[in-house]
Structure 1
Amino acid sequence: MPDITVGERRWTVPTGRNLLDALNEAGHHVPYSCRAGSCHACLVQCLSGQPVDALPEALALDKHALGWRLACQCRVVEDLQVAVFDPQQDGIPARVVVLEWLGEVLRMRLAPERALRYQAGQHVVLWSGSVARPYSLASLPGEDEWLEFHIDCRRPGAFCTLVRRLRIGDELRLGELRGGALHYDPQWQARPLWLLAAGTGLAPLWGIVREALRQGHEGAIRLVHVAADDAGHYLAQALRELEGVEVELVPAAQLEQALARLRPSSRQTVALLCGAPATVERFARRLFMAGLPRGQVFADVFVEHA
């Protein structure tokens, strides 16, 4: 059976063991979200040895050549020496400057020790001690002075427990900035733009819709937000104040009726979807049935963590 080495520690795992599971079971706290190779939260570097990689195309060729791997997509078949992210050594310190409860959603704003260059729709791993979770950036780069995150705390979880105890001035650590599936492309400027979000899937789309407006988007913009109840539409007022954006707030109980109304007026429409996997899948299925080409639908999913 193969061995895995991280720093001074070496242990044996069964052949074919998932690399992410092997590292986390050994206490190395590698964060993850989608386990599908899209969020890039579980990035590690293989210094020696090669795992079987089910999704090598998920990383740029130069990065892959340097040994970087998405641990969730790798199986251990030979001895590996792996470097994992050390938040104390490699993370960027960031101070809490705003904690605002919008129902059960915490709007948290952080001031990093040094500027972080990013695009609307990207996400970053937040570390508090040894607990880490990937969160989408809701702030607008180049305009907002802080990094904004929307954290759903409706259900108990290790990270939610920690953030409930945070105070202004506390320090978190920022992991590597990751490129998500969502973005705004200036080439879409004249095309209809649909933004469909469920819950805190609104976070990256909040940044993207403001990016589109800042760039003078000319096509119609429609934003649909699905939430369990009225309180779940945590940015309702801010959304209504967006000029040039058609906003629809949908209770989850009325989702089927809302989906039936999703009829793109143009096959040039671009749709960005974000939220829990089941809801995103329902969004996507309806858009495909309505005739929207798959290449014009971009989706990111949020997976709940304990």
Structure 2
Amino acid sequence: MPELRVGERQWSVAAGSNLLDALNQNGVSVPYSCRAGSCHACLVQCVQGLPSDSRPDALSAEQRQQGWRLACQCSVIEDLQVHTFDPLQDGRPAEVAAVDWLSANVLRLRLITQRPLRYGAGQHLVLWAGNVARPYSLASLPDEDRFLEFHLDCRQPGEFSDAARQLQIGDTLGLGELRGGALHYDADWHTRPLWLLAAGTGLGPLFGVLREALRQDHQGAIRVIHLAHDADEHYLAKPLQAMAAGRENLTVELWTPAELPQALAQLRLVSRQTLALLCGGPDSVDAFARRLYLAGLPRNQLLADVFLPRG
């Protein structure tokens, strides 16, 4: 049986054991979110030995050369010594600059780093509060906002959201890996119709994409749709409506689940050149995507980031 070692601890595991499970089930706490190789919360470094890796494409060549692997995607096949990710040593520290509620369930977190972080609208970061990590999309805009902004859905209890509720200005969090998902703004889209469809806090990264489009003086029509659990949870309604008030090419629609079937049925493409960016939970993104495909949107003109439930 292969031996697994972390620091001074060492134990035997069955050959072929999932590395994430082998660590967590033996008292070495490694966070995770999606277990699909997307969130990168379970990053570990292999100091000696290598596991079998089902997602070698998930990390850069430089990261792999340094021994970093995603524990959820690895199986233990030989003796292995592992270093677990330390967000302050292996990542970078960030200070809480502001924490406030945008609605009854959406907590806005603003962080400042000592060294500027190069990122693009729509990307996401792994945030660490102590030993708890969770990936969150950036709602801020590089070069304009001096802080990193995140919108946290706190409707359900969770280790990170529970910790976030207790944060105070001046507290330190750790930042893990910066990741680029599907969401972004391309200058080549300048004159094309742009639809941004969000559910819940999926609005956060699309708010950044919208601001990027406006900063680049997007000339095509922009349609923003936000699906919230109820009317009180349209947490960016006022800033969105203020933006739309001064721009003829920007419209904002606020939907609730009761209105969703009829609203989806009425979606019609104004142009085959339309681009659609979707973000939110799996059910909402799937509902948006199916209706857009039925309306004739080509699949390569739809970009989506899905917020997967933990587990």
TM-score by length of 2: 0.90
Give the corresponding residue for 1:296. 301
1:130 matched to 2:131? The reply is yes
Q: Is the 8 A contact 1:228 1:253 kept in 2?
A: no
- Cα deviation 1:108-132 (Å, max 9, x = unaligned): 1111122111111111111111111
Cα separation, 2, equivalents of 1:219 and 1:182: 18
- Cα deviation 1:35-93 (Å, max 9, x = unaligned): 22333333333344333332323334454454433322222233333332112323322
Give the corresponding residue for 2:32. 32
Task: Kindly report which structure 2 residues correspond to 1:140-159, keeping only aligned pairs within 5 A, or say none.
Answer: 140-159=141-160
Size of the aligned set, in residue pairs, is: 306
1:253 matched to 2:272? The reply is no
Give the corresponding residue for 2:173. 172
Q: Is the 8 A contact 1:38 1:180 kept in 2?
A: no
Query: Which region of structure 1 is more displaced relative to structure 2, 15-24 or 131-140?
Result: 15-24
- Cα deviation 1:183-241 (Å, max 9, x = unaligned): 11222222221111111111111111101111122222111111110111111111112
Report the CA distance between 1:262 and its aligned residue. Answer: 2.7
- Aligned-residue Cα RMSD (Å) equals 2.1
Alignment partner of 2:89: what SS? helix
Report the CA distance between 1:285 and its aligned residue. Answer: 1.9
TM-score by length of 1: 0.91
Cα separation, 1, equivalents of 2:241 and 2:65: 47
Is there any run of 5+ residues in structure 1 with no aligned partner, and where?
none
Query: Which region of structure 1 is more displaced relative to structure 2, 96-105 or 22-31?
Result: 22-31
Alignment partner of 1:195: what SS? strand
1:263 matched to 2:268? The reply is yes
Which amino acid in 2 is paired with 1:200? T
Cα separation, 1, equivalents of 2:237 and 2:215: 20
Cα separation, 2, equivalents of 1:293 and 1:64: 35
Alpha-carbon spacing, 1:257–1:49, altered in 2? closer, same or farther (3 Å): farther
Alignment partner of 1:4: what SS? strand
Alpha-carbon spacing, 1:69–1:56, altered in 2? closer, same or farther (3 Å): same
Alignment partner of 1:240: what SS? helix
Give the corresponding residue for 2:288. 283
Q: Is the 8 A contact 1:31 1:134 kept in 2?
A: no
Which amino acid in 1 is paired with 2:131? S
Which runs of structure 1 show a deviation greater than 4 angstroms over 4 or more consecutive aligned residues?
Answer: none
Alpha-carbon spacing, 1:182–1:48, altered in 2? closer, same or farther (3 Å): farther
1:77 matched to 2:77? The reply is yes
Which amino acid in 2 is paired with 1:111? I
Is there any run of 5+ residues in structure 2 with no aligned partner, and where?
none
Cα separation, 2, equivalents of 1:245 and 1:39: 32
1:106 matched to 2:107? The reply is yes
Cα separation, 1, equivalents of 2:52 and 2:234: 43
Alpha-carbon spacing, 1:11–1:263, altered in 2? closer, same or farther (3 Å): farther
Which amino acid in 2 is paired with 1:17? S
